A and B are shown apart, each in its own frame.
Chain A
Amino acid sequence: MKSGLYGFLFTMWILIILGGGIMVVLLGPFTIQQFGDFHWIITSGIKITIALVLIVIWILILSKLKNYIFKKELKF
């Protein structure tokens, strides 16, 4: 069980780094200019939506991973 927990921790760490990479590569350069003074609000709104989608995907991956790693032990 303990090795499974260390594996789960390590995978979470990798997912954080990869998620960060996607954030920087996708969200960093993303900008919209054609809405005048409000472009930064619209840009931020889109960035928030993408970030939330990424977080949901991150949680789903972790849930699947949790079930996979702890399948034997999780009889409850």
Chain B
Amino acid sequence: MIELVIPAIISCMFAFFLVYLTTPVLIKILEKKNYTVKDMNKKENVMVARPGGISIILGIVVSEIVLYGFFQLNEILAVIITTTIAFLIGYVDDRRVMGGWFKPVTLVIAALPILFLGTYDSDLAFPLFGDVQIPLLYIGLIFFMIPITGNTINSIDVLNGVASGFMVIASFTLSICLFILQNYEIAIISLPLGFVSLAFYKYHKIPSKIFPGDSGALTFGAMYGVIAIVGGVEIIAAVALLPAIINSFLFLSSVKRVVEHRQIKGKPVEHTADFKLKATNDKTAPVTLVRLILAGNPLTEKQVGYAIFKLAIFSGILAIITAFMMGVSL
């Protein structure tokens, strides 16, 4: 255990400080090149740099390479390759507007390294009841998992700081659960995700100086998905991600098809005179988590963000309880 502490500290420092130091430089470069988008939830005409995925992937890849220097694990290679492919897919979507099918379909390709490197266990572990062996079904699960986690995080990236703040909570929860399950090596491999998210949150929180873009959101989501698979904590990871899953579920069950947000005509949320967010009564608009949070009364962008973080903490607690329940058998 003690031999894992130094690599963990070094990789986490690389993860945090690389993102913390390179993001301001990236913001300047993006602004200079006019790679900015309007922040729709601000009264003034505020332009924000995008995509921040470049500094996120840099932090993840370098910190994981540092870890690979200490332990030559295929799991680390799976994390690096899958996350990089997801970043590239997101970057293409940032630069060109692709159809709704593009990300889910291409993210299946990002899952291939997990399969080729054999970094999975086809037993699916459930709390209280134990494991179930599903060799063929598990391969299907791998192909589903990365598109689902990637797009789920992408779908929650709707307000300043929400995607990165949510990832801080979900990824540290996942790391804690891996430590509880004594899966120390994968726990250490997962830690850089939390530190990268934390460093990025510094610039993404309200008022945002940079948006992660599809490249950043897919990078976050894909790495989260790989950790869940290589760590054998798929169910725990799903529980920690529940608020984002609810968002995707509500969206899909109201729209009833896979479609990009920008292709939806009805607006789920509008602004009040004092620029608070308010749920609309538009029947053609999708039902989303933000719309449900706002169903009671209008809230500021910051208040909605905190409401989502509280839900993330609640599901994080449920995930930790689930991890403890893994050791109990009925």
Interface centre among B126, B245, B307 (most CB of A within 10 A): B126
Q: Is the CB of B235 within 8 A of A76?
A: no
> Shortest beta-carbon distance, A55 to chain B, in Å?
10
User: Nearest Cβ distance between residue A40 and chain B, in whole angstroms?
Assistant: 7
Residues of A within 8 A of B318 (CB): 9-10, 13
| Interchain CB contact (< 8 A) of A73 among B127, B131, B295 | B295
Contact of B283 with A45 in the complex, beta carbons under 8 Å: no
Q: Are A1 and B235 within 8 A (Cβ)?
A: no
Interface residues of A, dominant DSSP:
helix
Taking CB atoms, residues of chain B closer than 8 Å to A73 are: 292, 295-296
Contact with A along B308-326 (1 / 0, CB 8 A): 0001001100100010010
A8 to B293, CA, bound (A): 13
Complex alpha-carbon distance, A10 and B246, angstroms: 12
Residues on B with beta carbons closer than 8 Å to the beta carbon of A57: none
Determine whether the beta carbon of B137 is less than 8 Å from that of A47. Answer: yes
For chain B, what secondary structure do more than half of its interface residues adopt (helix, strand, loop), or is it mixed?
helix
Is A28 part of the contact surface with B, judged by Cβ < 8 Å? yes
Interface size range on A against B: 35 or more
Does any Cβ of B come within 8 Å of A48's Cβ?
yes
Residues of A within 8 A of B249 (CB): 59, 62, 66
B140, closest chain A residue (CB): A48
Contact indicator per residue, chain A 48-62, by CB within 8 Å of chain B (1) or not (0): 100100000001001
Asked if A76 and B282 sit within 8 Å, CB to CB, the answer is: yes
Q: Are B314 and A6 in contact (CB under 8 A)?
A: yes
Asked whether B295 lies within 8 Å of A74 as measured between CB atoms, the reply is yes
Q: How many A-B residue pairs have CB under 8 A?
A: 103
- Contact: A28 with B292, CB < 8 Å? no
What distance in Å separates the Cβ of B137 from its nearest Cβ neighbour in chain A? 5
Distance, CA A66 to CA B235, complexed state (A)? 21
Q: Please provide the chain A residues from 1 to 28 with a CB less than 8 Å away from any CB of chain B in the complex.
A: 1-2, 4-6, 8-10, 12-13, 16-17, 20-21, 23-25, 27-28
A63 to chain B, nearest CB (A): 6
Binary interface profile of B, 293-310, with partner A (CB < 8 Å = 1, else 0)? 101100000000001000
Bound together, the chains give a CA A10 to CA B307 distance in angstroms of 16
Chain A residues whose C-beta falls within 8 Å of the C-beta of B133 in the assembled complex: 28
Residues of B within 8 A of A24 (CB): 126, 129-132
Cβ 8 A contact of A9, one of B128, B283, B296, B315: B315
Q: How far is the CA of A9 from the CA of B242 in the complex (A)?
A: 7
Q: What is the chain A residue whose CB lies nearest that of B318?
A: A13
**CB neighbours of A68 from chain B (8 A):** none
Select from chain A the residue with minimum beta-carbon distance to B136: A44
State the Cβ distance, A39 to closest chain B Cβ, in Å.
Answer: 13
Flag whether B208 is at the interface (Cβ < 8 A).
Answer: no
**List of B residues within 8 angstroms of A5 by Cβ:** 246, 289, 292-293, 311
B-side residues, CB < 8 A to A, are 124, 126-137, 140, 235, 238-239, 242-243, 245-246, 249-250, 253, 279-283, 285, 287, 289, 291-293, 295-296, 307, 311, 314-315, 318, 322, 325
